[in-house]
Structure 1
Amino acid sequence: MQGIQLRDAYYSEIPAIARMSTLAFWDDDLFAILIHPHREKYPGDADLYWIRRARVNFWDYRRKWLVAVDKDEKGTDTIVGVAQWERLGPGGKRMDCHWLDPRNLLKPLSRLAMFLHAWSWPNRACDPAQEDAIERSYPYFEKAWTGDRAESWYLELLAVHPDHQGRGIGRKLVQWGLDRAQEERVCASVVSAWGKDGFYQKAGFNVQSGCATSGEGNPLANVRGGNIFWKDPEPTNTTVG
């Protein structure tokens, strides 16, 4: 892992993050087969899906965008991995800007801009009926984050460039969130893609409970994967005097 560093993502890096995410999920059941069935014909258009989502979510202060960068001999950064962690629950609400903060306008303005962007430059790689499948699926599994698990650092996105997989980059991006959750004494959570259960278990998510594809009428019902994994905070050592 020599040369790999984690840092906050820059807004200007969203196109590079989008390209990497497209490549990382090229054969994924959800993002590729369901949402982007025409990606072979329009390979660049799938980037639009990631760009539009990121340009809106980037201004949500409950979300933390991290990139893993590889520095070359000249010190130039190459983005090789990305993670988007979201702080759920009351702890996340405390991360929002004050209601008078002008930055609060950035997210709704970005949402409007991306709506117009999608109207002007349609994503030809996607199935229009499935482009919002994830958003429509939330009511079927969002109750998993209630009770003792209402407070959580949720790993919403993890992608590593195919040319750099196997170097421990994903583990490092995962560990950032696990450390924050432990510091705050809340759980960490993730919805696992097909074939990634073992990775998340080895990374520290030691409890599987719930599935994002279950429930009659769930638009993700035919998507493989979707197991929800958790990492509860470790008990702190206390000394009795």
Structure 2
Amino acid sequence: MSLTANGKANLATSPKTSISSEPIIIRRATLKDAPEMGRVGGRVYYDTPLTSWLWPHRAKYHAQYERHWIERRLALMLNPRNESYVACSSSGQIIGAAQFARLGDDAGAWKRIREIGVLRRVFMWVAAWVFWGYCKVRWWLEGGDKTQNKEAVETFASWCRVDGERYWGSHEERASRWHCQSLVLLPEWQGKGIGKKLMAVVMEKAQRDGVIIGLEASAKGEGLYTKLGFELLGRFTGEAGAVEDVGQGGMMIWYPEGYKKEASSEM
């Protein structure tokens, strides 16, 4: 599984639909792409049980709901450990996006950070703080977030911390990894191999670095990752599982070829 030298990947043609015959371009995302990346994510997850629980008033305050997604995309992109990619149709429309982070303190992780350059790292650090302050002030001026169930958001964050420590933090050997922070694809473009092409980007990097890939799979996304060779480490906490489809989704891991797996898959 690989991308062409110019970053393009063509879907197999099909006489049934014009969508399936369009050439798809996978490219590195820029900060200008963040708004559309956010809108794609907001649309993809709009009707999921988790979204309905966290943002019950998203229909009434749709602009705020979209802004959550856009701000998150930008915040991730301003981290020097992050790499973001978009999938575009032949017309240039962003139809999907993926964001990955190179975690750890190993030589490979620091080599990548150094390659970014000191000036760019300083710019990203300053921009991240300015953006954080801007977001705080803007939400304050609007009288706070009207889309959220604040108690649900705090509860969900606590579940994430528990699972993060259980599956990643308590396993020193998993600290050095690429982590898939987000993968979204518009519904009408799903099932055409585009998600695999986006994941191919990080799988090639992980194979080159000799490190694992970790991610949190939704109930719907678990099938894709399984086909790509990811293994399930464990389901989300019982409470989180009750919000999503019970018994589906969870923490998943991918091992590069030749990687010495852990002696135990204990969760």
Shorter-chain TM range is 0.7 to 0.9
Answer whether contact 1:141 1:210 (CA < 8 A) is retained: no
**Residues 13-92 of structure 1: pairs in structure 2 closer than 5 A:** 13-30=33-50, 32-72=51-91, 77-90=92-105, 91-92=108-109
Cα RMSD for the two superposed structures: 2.4
1:211 and 2:235 equivalent? yes
Which of 123, 128, 134 is the aligned partner of 1:113? Answer: 134
Which of 6, 19, 31 is the aligned partner of 1:11? Answer: 31
Segments of 4+ in structure 1 off by > 6 A? none
Partner of 1:136: 158
Q: TM-score, normalised by structure 1?
A: 0.83
CA distance in 1, matches of 2:27, 2:154: 29
CA distance in 1, matches of 2:155, 2:83: 23
> Identity across aligned pairs (percent)?
24
Structure 2 residue runs of 5 or longer lacking an equivalent are 1-10, 12-21, 260-267
Shift of 1:133: 5.2
User: Which residue identity is paired with 1:79?
Assistant: I
Shift of 1:142: 2.1
Partner of 2:207: 182
Count residues in correspondence: 226
Shift of 1:21: 0.6
CA distance in 2, matches of 1:89, 1:199: 26
CA distance in 2, matches of 1:119, 1:197: 37
Shift of 1:130: 3.3
CA distance in 2, matches of 1:3, 1:149: 36
Change (3 A) 1:163 1:120: farther
Answer whether contact 1:140 1:212 (CA < 8 A) is retained: no
1:208 alignment partner, SS class? strand
Structure 1 residue runs of 5 or longer lacking an equivalent are 237-241
Change (3 A) 1:182 1:101: closer
2:36 alignment partner, SS class? helix
Q: TM-score, normalised by structure 2?
A: 0.76
1:37 alignment partner, SS class? coil
